[in-house]
Amino acid sequence: MGYDAVELIRHKRDGGTFDADQVRWVIDAYTAGEVAEEQMSALAMAIFFRGLDATELSAWTAAMIATGERLDFSSLSRPTADKHSTGGVGDKITLPLAPLVAACGVAVPQLSGRGLGHTGGTLDKLEAIPGWRAGLGNEEMLAQLEDVGAVVCAAGSGLAPADKKLYALRDVTGTVEAIPLIASSIMSKKIAEGTGALVLDVKVGSGAFMKDLEDARTLARTMVGLGTDAGVTTVALLTDMSTPLGYTAGNALEVRESVEVLAGGGPADVVELTLALAREMLAAAGRGDVDPAEALADGRAMDVWRAMISAQGGDPDAELPTARHTHTVHADADGTLSRLDAMAVGLAAWRLGAGRARKEDPVQAGAGVELHAKPGQDVRAGDPLLTLHTDDEHRVERALEALAGGWTIGGEPTTGPVVIERVTA
């Protein structure tokens, strides 16, 4: 049965709701090129202002999943769990988390993306490791999950192709921030991926997509509801992204820090969040009796990391790339560092070459920002505060502009707990 795209746009514009058949038609017709880009942009804007109710959103997500394939991990000898982060600055958590959870007996099929704008991409980070490749076929992925227990790779074009098309459209039409469209975009891919359990890391704060706690809470509840309705055990943690995670933002810099975590060291906030998410993933997969801290301490997680990197052509012992130029920023006063803005650091790392403005842009493996202090630490005037890394010296000036006003020395630190809240069905 066919519908009129213009009628559907008007219907949503005027506050109407869609039934499942109307939703299926518009998603299928748009994916097939029968609904024009300008019509879908008008509908996306109508949804931005009018929203989708729970029934519409469930139908929208299911229709997006149905445009592509669904992976099936039922042949594996262990349960599966995945994690999705809404993106932040210095958010390297997938790197130590996937091998850690695998070391505890749960397989982790982590389909990841590339960075865009100020938030880093997991695949860009791992591609800093010489030889490592992101593209795996479904058979390769299954074999690695059975053999190693963890895989981090690019999502194939077969998963929710409607989302790929709609995501690109939202990016250029000012409709990225629509919560129903964010939720269905993330969850259509994650449900199609076929994991048995899913833990969502919903970032909130200046360096996150969601700046406001109530918006982050709404997004988390919406996604948990979609996952639960689809039969995936889903839980979300709201986590702080007002300050960068760890002491690095940038590709090779973050790999180096992740390896420190797997070696039993690393920054306290990265370790804390890695363990919190690992416990949630293990519990959701029915392995809540296993303590991931032990697998971090005894080297089992490091063993899985090395096997995971090697299985995808990478050399876990290779020297990581370093940038050709560095520039150190010094503290201008004595006192406690009370604020270090995640967005300022993320933008600086992006301008230094660690990120991209368009999907096809290359990234520099060695570029980024290294922090020498975090909020709550005392500094003296002249102490190193940040080191900027880049292959192109001319990029430093614009990075420094991004950092202007990005920290405060003196006063009470504004940081709170890393994990703010837990959201369940």
86 in any annotated domain: yes
Whether 237 and 152 share a structural domain: yes
Q: Do 240 and 121 lie in a common domain?
A: yes
* CATH number, domain containing residue 30: 1.20.970.10
Give me the mean pLDDT over the 51-58 stretch: 95
Q: Final residue of a domain: which of 271, 291, 317?
A: 317
140 and 277 part of one domain:
yes
- Average pLDDT score, the chain: 94
Q: 118 and 248: one domain?
A: yes
Q: What is the dihedral of CA 35, 38, 42, 43, to 10 degrees?
A: 20
Domain count, the chain: 3
Question: Does residue 104 form part of some domain?
Answer: yes
Confidence of residue 113 (pLDDT cuts 50, 70, 90): confident
Active-site entry in 41, 184, 185, 258: 185
**CATH number of the domain where residue 166 is located:** 3.40.1030.10
pLDDT of residue 39: 96
Q: Is residue 75 part of a domain?
A: no
Whether 63 is in a domain gets the answer no
Q: Using one digit for the tens of pLDDT, what is the confidence trace for 379-390?
A: 999 999 999 999
Task: Spell out the residues 6+ positions from residue 129 whose beta carbon is closer than 8 angstroms to its own.
Answer: 255, 309, 314, 315, 316, 318, 320
Is 16 in the same domain as 137? no
Residues 145 and 26 grouped into a single domain:
no
Catalytic residue list contains 112: no
Sign of the four-CA dihedral 87, 89, 94, 97: negative
Catalytic residue among 12, 189, 190, 339: 189
Instruction: State whether 290 and 178 are in the same domain.
Output: yes
Is 122 part of any domain?
yes
Question: Known catalytic residue: 203?
Answer: no
Q: How confident is the model at residue 372 (pLDDT cuts 50, 70, 90)?
A: very high
Catalytic residue among 170, 279, 287, 300: 170
| Same-domain pairing of 383 and 254 | no
Q: What pLDDT does 356 receive?
A: 79
Give me the pLDDT at residue 116, please. Answer: 65
Q: Rounded to an integer, what distance in angstroms lies between the CA atom of residue 375 and that of residue 338?
A: 5
Integer Cα distance of 395 and 400 in angstroms: 9
* Catalytically annotated residue among 82, 91, 124, 163: 163
Average of per-residue pLDDT across 174-203: 92
- Is residue 211 predicted with pLDDT exceeding 70? yes
pTM: 0.94
CATH of the domain at 365: 3.90.1170.30
372 is catalytic: no
170 has catalytic annotation: yes
Over the stretch 229-265, which tens digit does the pLDDT of each residue have?
A: 999 999 999 999 999 999 999 999 999 999 999 999 9
Structure tokens at 87: 């993106």
Cβ contact 122:251 at 8 Å: no
Q: What is the pLDDT of residue 360?
A: 73
Inside any domain, residue 403:
yes
Q: Of the listed 84, 92, 114, 300, which one is catalytic?
A: 84
Tell me how far apart the alpha carbons of residues 25 and 59 are, in angstroms, rounded to a whole number: 11
Residues 6+ apart with CB under 8 A from 360: none
Question: Considering 294, 317, 340, which residue would you say is the last residue of a domain?
Answer: 317
**Is residue 141 located within the same domain as residue 275?**
yes
Residues 149 and 245 in one domain: yes
415, pLDDT greater than 80: no
Model confidence over 330-353: pLDDT tens digits?
999 999 999 999 999 999 999 999
To the query of whether residue 359 is one of the catalytic residues in this protein, the response is no
Residue 381 belongs to what domain range? 325-409
The pLDDT of 187-216, averaged and rounded, is: 94
Provide the token pair at 203: 């970032």
